Each structure stands twice: as structure tokens, then as C-alpha cells.
Structure 1
Amino acid sequence: MTATDHPDPPEDPDTPGTTDRHESPRIPLPRSSMEDTGHPPPDAPGERKSASGRSAPSPEHAPPLLLEHRVLKSLLGAWALAACSGEEAAAVEEHLGECGPCAEEALRLRDAVGLLHPEESLDLDPGLRSRVLESCLGRRPPRIPVPEWAVPYDAETARLDALLRDIGDSEWHAPVRLRWFEGDGQVNRKTTVAGVIAHLLAVDGLVGLALGLDDPLGPGAGDPRLPAHRTEAYWQASRLPPTRAVRGPWRDQTHEVVRTVSFAGDGSGRLPVPYGTVPAPPGEGPGQKIELPLRDAMVDRAFECWIHADDIAEAVDYPYDPPSPRHLHRMIDLAARMLPGTLAGRRRSGLAAPPRDLVAAGAPGRSLRLEIEGLGGGEWFIALDSPGADASAEREVAHVALDGVEFCRLAAGHVSPVEAAAGQDGDREAIRDVLFAAASLSRL
């Protein structure tokens, strides 16, 4: 073989024909930044750099680019990121219509670019939704507003739904211990995150039934029953424990409840919502029928939604704040108004001291001043001797001071009555009876 005889150069698998092995590479190697050289940028107003590293004239004077196959293939990544010049993008797209392998690679790169922008975390400021809604409603009031007494339920269910969207599949089976108060002591029941949502779905169904909606327990279960009975029935309806699939029915029911009360208007707040009947002690006749007007039932459901959302957040180590002060005030007000009736029920069961002789003599009876500090704070006078008596400062025999969130935790059965009150003054027996009556407001 002579010096002028050369073997045929090897074929490039990506390029038809052959190439000169002494040809300079089409894709330049990485180089230092212009800012690092200390020199001013070149003054070339008629030129600009393309993604391939070539100098290209301005678009209005640019002839069509004729690029080789391997150069076009190297531009696919820049094209997928929309980093090519207009001429390069046109050349790449024309090439994709003729080259099947490059078209498949371009499709894969475009799909990969979509994965560079994952969904943002849902762990947002709990007050963000309220602020956005307040701003929107201030600009354009809704045609069909949500009644004021239903807003806490709307807000608390939305906050819980945001928490549920942000937890993983395995966390739906995290253990949760539900706590409430019976008699003179705390009881508890172990379930899962999914079991808690099933509990809320079953009990919220009582409000849905009063509004004419379908019962989540199914046909034949529409007779009013105690919330605990409804929950047990729902849990036992399937041999398998609840899963994250329960979130959909629960969320749909909350939306339907809010939508229905909004269309019904503020006047629907007087609609009775039965909560079943508490059995009476033997020999004392029929049990006590529990019933709340819809406006109070919605606040009650908002309160339980928040309490159980806090239970879930504790189980999955998720930060969770109390409701807004305005909503918390409504919850505290409902609990304070229910205290005289609950205290009377404990007296009938022998769990509280009997009323004083003042009632028998026709006097209005004694009062306890309940002072709530902090979030949702205020002052309430609790009738001690008769649920229907007028309570006033003139008849005050005791004073109890509590933090707003701490009082709600007491009413939920999460805090012992003995440890709840931050400040106490006056009749110790009356204070004890009221604190234990507050804990007795809780239930499964």
C-alpha cells in the first residue's frame, strides 16, 4: 500500500455517507464564560449566537439552515427546551418529519421536560384560602352566598381536604386514637386516618338527611341514630378497613351540604337536625331526644371536623393550626349555650350536684361566669340550676377563665376537666360540675 492509498473511512452510524476524520467537531467543547475573561463582548450587531454555537445573521437576512443529521440530532435537547433559534427550530422540525428515530427521541425529550415541573406541595398557609376568598368576594359578591353559620363548616372541610391531598398512601393507614369523655372519665377508640374520614362521613350524613340528601350508610339506614351507632355501622359494613377511597364520598358530601344550604338560604337555619335519642336510666321513661337547629348543627360539624383533622395531623406529623378566631368564637358560643342542658342531664344521671333551693322558691338561680381568653374569646354566663333560667352577673357564684383553644379541647374530651381551667374563683362544686359538663359534650 502506498502513501496515497488510504482505506475507506468508517461510516458514521448517524450520518449517511462518510466524513473526514480531520474535520473539526460540529459541537464545540465547553468554554469559559465571557464574564470570566475580563474582555468586553464583541460588537457584532448583525450577528447572534445560536444553540449550536454557530454565528447566525439576523432573522430578516437568514438563509434557510442546511444542517447535517448529527448536528440536527444534537439540537433535539435544546429544541425540547425551546432554547433553539427560530432558524434552528425550523430546521429541526422539518427534519423530524423525515427521520423516524429523531422524531421518537424528540417525543421522549418533550415528555422528560414535563417532568421537570412537579406539582407543588399542598402544605400551604391555612389562612391563605380565607384571605383569597375574602378578597374575591370583596370585589364581586357571590350570586348565591353561603350562610354565615355554614362558613366555618365550609372552611374546616376545605382545610382537612388539603391535608388529605398532601399525605401519602401509606399514611392513610396510620393509627389514630379517637378520645372522648363518658361519665367521669376519658375513653378512646383506635382507628386509622381512613377510619376517621369514614366517621366524619357517617355523622355528617345526619345533616345531609335533614337536607334531603342520600344517606352514606345506604338505603334503610335513614332512621335517626346516635353518631356512634352510625360510625360503627359504617365501619362494619365492609369486612375490610376503610382506605383512601373514602375521601371522595366524604368530599362530595361536604360540597353537596354546603351547596344545598346555600340554595336554601339563611332561613333554613331553623331546620331541625335529629341526633338520635340517649337511653334513659331504667324506670325513668323514654330517653332524651337530641336535636339541633341546622345553624347549630353546621357549627357542630365544623368543630368535629377541626378536632379530628388535628387528630390526623398529629398521627402523620403534619402542622395544623386552629380555626380562624371568628369561626372559633362560633364553636365556643355553641358549646357555652349547650352547657346548661348537659349539666341538667348529668344531674339526672347522678353525676352532678342537685340544684339549690333557689329554683324551688321561684328565684332565677345561680350563674357561673365563663371567661374565654385568646382566640375566639368572650364572656358567657352559664345557668347552673335550670337550663331555661336567665343567667346574669347579679347571680354569679363562680368564675372560670380558660384559653379558647384549651376550652375547645376540653369540650372535645381531649383535656381532663381537673387540669383544664387556668383560673378559678368561687363555688368549687359549681366549677367542677361545669367543667365536667363541658367534657361531656364530647362523643365518638
Structure 2
Amino acid sequence: MTTEHDAVRDLLAAWALGALEPADERTTTAHLADCAVCADEARRLRTVVRALDGSPADGTAFDEPRPGRPGPPKAPPAEPASAGPRADGPPTAVPARALRRRSAAPAVAAHAAPYAAAVAGLSGLLPEAEGRWTTPVVHDWDVHATVAHLIAADEPLATRLGIDTPRPLSGIEADADWDAAWNRRTGELIAHEHGRTPAETVAAWSAQAGALLAAPEARDPQAAARAVTLMGMRLPVADHFLVRGFETWIHTDDLGRALGLTVPPPPEEHLRRLVRLAVRVLGAALGPGAPAVLFSVTGGPEWVLGSDAEPVRAELALDPVDFCLLVGGRYTPPEVPRGATGDESAVRNVLERAASLAWL
């Protein structure tokens, strides 16, 4: 039998985000006045939200899986498709209220909005990991390690923007290959954070994410226009914020599936920005010598990828979320649902090159 105490605990994440319905708000407020345990948990959750300096905004709740979505997150090709045991039973909508509205940092520019929403989404999900921090997620990471990885993933941009990152200094040589250096840094920070409590790791990730969203480059498109090289990609800082939003959402989805929850895709406008960036990166990776393919995403524009000096040899259409999951390494080329006509080898070349971009 569910008690009032249990019911209110299920509402605390939504309360911290300011996303409760009026009736639930009244019930929760009255309970917090009398229950020290729930009041302490509520203060902790609101501290995380305030660290991000967020305010409620409309969004989408956790819901049922989309048809055709891939299974558990993929490890590198040499590893089995399953990254570890999943939570028992189908995905649940337990924290739906927590993400009925997405929190976003105030006054961020459009280029930083996808990252702000992804950070807020992960903040709303993490309370569901309580007591399950050792659940396998992706690669050889558990929930705790996945949050630690996101600290490492955000660190290059934070460092470039002059944000203090008070963690053990990296012993990696400055001229090291970027992906080898990145993997080593992830390993360093996971080992460091496994020596701390999950709450401390979450606080460290939240503080760094909040500092990124408070940086001038997150709020001023002109300040974010300068190009810098991070993770082997020379892009404007604005696009590196999009990359951070992309990765944070992908790993939130990993965590949700590991915990038996379904994470919604980014809002439509954010998804369009992520798709456009991924198409630009994919086009550069294919180069002008690749067979020309007319590529489109459902409900979106079309692009010609590859040679612009030869006739189009094939047409390829993907759902925008599926395209992002392919680029993020959560689909393999044979798995991803697609509509395709024409030269199968040209289509396969695009899909394989898109999948090769994944480093998450």
C-alpha cells in the first residue's frame, strides 16, 4: 500500500524543478513541513537545480519507447551488443512529472539551449538512480562512472572557456592523439570519482555544467563565434555547445534504459540544430569524392552528401532521432530503420561513415 510519504518522495524531483500540478504542490508542501527526511531530500534536489540556475520551461515527459528504437547501448564493435543487464520489466514512466517541464538556464543563446535542456533532463533523471549506482550502463561503465565520464567530456570546453575545474590534473602529454588522450582522461576521472560518493560526483558534474551555462559564450552568440579545436574537431564554440548537448542527451538515454526508464528526445527545435550539425560533420567526413547521395530526415530539409559533380546515385531518409542515435553509436548501419532507393553501396557508405563518427 502506497503511503503519503512514498507518494511525496515520488514527487520530489518534480517539486525541485517547479513542475508539480497545483494539487500535488499543496500536498508536497504540507508533507515537507512535517517530514524531516523528505525535507532534506527536497533541499538536496533543489540545490542541484539552483546550481544550474534554471527555471521551468515546457518539455516532454518520459514516455513509452518509440517503435524501432535500438536495444541496450552498444559497446565498441568487438564487445557484445548488450552492455549489461537491464532493469527488469518494460520501461516505466515513474519520473514523468520530473520532466513534464524541462529546466533551462536563463538567458542562454539558442546555440546553448540544447545543452541546457539536456543538463536539466539528466538532473531530473538522476534521483531515480538512488540505490542503483552500480547498475551497468554502457561500455564497462556503471551509473556512477557514466556521470563521471560526462565530467570528463565537458572538461575540454570548460577548460578552453577558462572555467576552473578543481580535479586531479591530467598526466596526458599535450601532443597526444585526441581520442587516446580523451579515453585516458575518462579513465582517470572515473577512477577518481569512484573514490567519492555518487552525490559528490553529481555535484561536481552539476557545478561544471552550471559554470558552462553561465559562461559568456553560452549567452552571447558573438562570443561563441570563434573557432576552437576540441575532440579533434575545429568548430565554433557555439557548435561545441551543441556537441555537449548531443552527448549529454545520448548518455541520459543510456542511463534511462539501464534503469528501465525511457528518456524523451530533445525538443523539436533542439533536435533540428543537432541534426544540422551532424550533417555538416558527416558531409566533411565523406568528402567531395564520395558517391552522391540525397539525404533527408523526416519532416526536415534535404542535403546532397558526397560529390556535387556527379549525378545523385541514391536517396536515403532517416528519422531525425534515429540519425542522431546512429551518429552517437547506438545503432549499427544494418540496424537503423531507413528509407532508401538507388545504389545500395552508396547508401551503405553514408551509413557506415555516420556510424564511424561515434566516440561517445
User: Do both share a fold (TM > 0.5)?
Assistant: yes
Within 5 Å, give how 1:56-75 maps onto structure 2: none
CA shift, 1:342, in A, is 2.1
1:129 equivalent in alignment to 2:91: no
Match of 1:295? 238
Partner Cα distance (1:112, 1:408) in 2: 41
Q: What's the counterpart of residue 31 of structure 1?
A: none
Q: Aligned residues: percent identity?
A: 29
Does the 8 Å CA contact 1:175/1:190 hold for their aligned counterparts? Answer: yes
Bigger proportion of residues as helix? 2
Q: Look up the equivalent residue of 1:157 and give its one-letter code.
A: V
Structure 1 residue 320 displacement after superposition: 1.7
CA contact (8 A) 1:335 1:441 kept: no
CA RMSD of aligned residues (A): 3.2
Aligned residue runs from structure 1 range 138-177, under 5 A = 145-168=107-130, 170-177=131-138
CA deviations 1:121-141 (Å, max 9, x no partner) are: 8642634136xx7xxx9xxxx
**216, 233, 256: which one pairs with 1:261?**
216
- Distance in 1 (alpha carbons) for counterparts of 2:99 and 2:258: 18
User: What is the CA-CA distance between 1:118 and the residue it aligns to?
Assistant: 4.8
Q: Are the equivalent residues in 2 in contact too, given 1:174–1:316 (CA < 8 A)?
A: yes
What TM-score does the superposition give when structure 1 sets the normalisation length?
A: 0.55
CA contact (8 A) 2:294 2:303 kept: yes
- Take 1:112 and 1:432, find their aligned partners in 2: how far apart are those partners? 57
1:370 aligns with 2:272: no
Q: Which residue among 183, 204, 208 is the counterpart of 1:228?
A: 183
Q: Say if 2:144 and 2:194, in contact at 8 Å, map to a contact too.
A: no
- Answering whether residue 357 of structure 2 is matched by residue 441 of structure 1, we say yes
Deviation at 1:263, TM superposition (A): 7.0
Give the 5 Å matches for 1:178-197: 189-197=139-147
Which 5+ residue runs of structure 1 have no aligned equivalent?
1-110, 178-188, 277-288, 345-353, 357-365, 386-390
Amino acid at match of 2:102: R
Please report how far the alpha carbon of residue 117 of structure 1 lies from its aligned counterpart in structure 2 after TM superposition.
10
Tell me which residue corresponds to 2:289.
355
Q: How far 1:316 sits from its partner (Å)?
A: 1.2
Kept after mapping to 2: 8 A contact 1:368/1:383: yes
Structure 2 Cα separation of the partners of residues 273 and 383 of structure 1: 25
**Secondary structure at 1:370 match in 2:** strand
Match of 2:226 in 1: 271
Give ranges in structure 2 of 5+ residues lacking alignment: 1-30, 43-93
Change in 2 beyond 3 A, CA 1:221/1:301:
farther
Cα distance in structure 1, aligned partners of 2:37 and 2:149: 36
CA contact (8 A) 2:217 2:238 kept: no
Correspondence list, 1:420-439, <5 A: 420-439=336-355
Whether the 8 Å CA contact 1:235–1:242 is kept in 2: the answer is: no
The residue that corresponds to 1:384 in the other structure is 306
Give the match's secondary structure for 2:133.
helix
The two structures have a TM-score, normalised by structure 2, of 0.67
Give the alignment of 1:214-225 within 5 angstroms. Answer: 214-215=164-165, 217-219=167-169, 223=174, 225=178
Deviation at 1:242, TM superposition (A): 6.7
- The letter of the residue matching 1:343 is L
2: CA distance between counterparts of 1:405 and 1:437? 17
Match of 2:49 in 1: none
